[in-house]
Amino acid sequence: MKLSADGADRTKKKRAHWLLYVVLAIAGGSLTFVGARAQQKATDDAAFRKLTDDYCAAWSTGNADAPAKYYAKSDGLVFYDVAPFSYHGWNEYHTGVQKEFLEGAASIKLTAGKDLKVSRRGMIVWTTVPMHLSEKTKDGKNVELDLRYTGIWEKHGAGWQLVHEHISAPAGS
């Protein structure tokens, strides 16, 4: 009788050890996943901070050709800007912004605020950030404008391109 009780105890101990190993493996895997997600988030934040600052520098050249590399050229894309209301596709956006904003500017500077938010789901990233536009017009006026910016980026090859963006100014700006 004692022998079968010892056998039952050993079986219970083996099951308990096996269960402990499974729980530890799941916990370890979860920690690895959480750590990898945190590392990806930090990498994305740094990459999109640089991308956003480079995007602003490109628009600050005063030439709509400079930021072209940041935009996807697919048909059907819509970009919302401060004026007029929307542009359909990169070609319309390029021509419209050049005429509406850049041709009348002696100098222009677009800067992104510090409060950049980056959210990623696979091959899509959306960014939000306050921006500031400083412009000196060719007729000598100074324009200062605070903007709200949302960009939807899609992975294209090794880089990211905008497939949609929305720029707006708070009422009364």
State percent of the chain over pLDDT 70: 81
Q: Are 78 and 164 in contact (CB under 8 A)?
A: yes
- Mean per-residue pLDDT of the chain: 87
Query: Residue holding tokens 């990459």?
Result: 47
Looking at residue 85, what is its pLDDT? Answer: 83
In 3D, which of 12, 18, 110 has the Cα closest to residue 64?
110
Residue 120 has pLDDT above 60, yes or no: yes
Q: Are 135 and 105 in contact (CB under 8 A)?
A: yes
pLDDT average, residue stretch 154-169: 95
Name the residue ranges covered by the structural domains of the chain: 2-168
pTM, two decimals, is 0.76
Can you point out the beta strands (E) in the chain? 78-80, 86-88, 105-112, 117-121, 124-137, 142-156, 159-168
Domain 2-168 has CATH 3.10.450.50: yes
Residue 159, Cα to own-chain centre: how many angstroms?
A: 12
Residue 23 has pLDDT above 80, yes or no: no
Report the C-alpha gap between 41 and 35 in whole angstroms.
10
Looking at residue 107, what is its pLDDT? Answer: 96
pLDDT average, residue stretch 106-112: 97
Looking at residue 12, what is its pLDDT? Answer: 74
Looking at residue 82, what is its pLDDT? Answer: 86
Looking at residue 36, what is its pLDDT? Answer: 46
Looking at residue 128, what is its pLDDT? Answer: 98
Residue 81 per-residue DSSP state: -
Report the C-alpha gap between 69 and 149 in whole angstroms.
18
pLDDT average, residue stretch 20-38: 58
